[in-house]
Amino acid sequence: MLGDLQRRNEALNRIRESLTQDPANLDLANLYWSALAGPGGDIRSGRHVVEAYRESALRSTEGAVAFARAYRQLGDASGEPPRLAFFNGSLIQALRSCALEVSEGDRSAVEWVLRRIKE
């Protein structure tokens, strides 16, 4: 059991290090998010959403949608809402801009995040 946990932590650390080197890489963000939910239990939190997706959310519409989807997925699975402490003006503006440019399904996830941080 300890071996499995150690391997998982090592894999997460490798992905996290790669993401640190390339913080806007959406593929790495998705890999990290998936690995956090992998075998051994789901350990995802709002901090992980921000860690994985913040930079890509600031740089692209696709990143902002991925950020919102991850937070919505977390909220649906655990009940953990987005916390205003994890957001600054730039991130909020990126999400607002994104909501104007995407399809209804993606817009729904983005608007869900924006509503929750105001509550």
Over residues 88-116, the pLDDT tens digits come to 999 999 999 999 999 999 999 999 999 99
Q: What is the DSSP letter of 98?
A: H
Q: 10-37 burial, b if ≥16 CB within 10 A, otherwise e?
A: eebeebbeebeeebbbbebbbbbbebbe
Say how many domains are in the chain: 1
Q: What CA–CA distance (Å, rounded) separates 22 from 16?
A: 10
Place of tokens 């649906």: 76
Q: Which domain holds residue 99?
A: 2-118
Collapsing DSSP to helix, strand or coil, 103 comes out as: coil
Residue-wise pLDDT for 42-89, tens only, equals 899 999 999 999 999 999 999 999 999 999 999 999 999 999 999 999
- Which residue type sits at 27? D
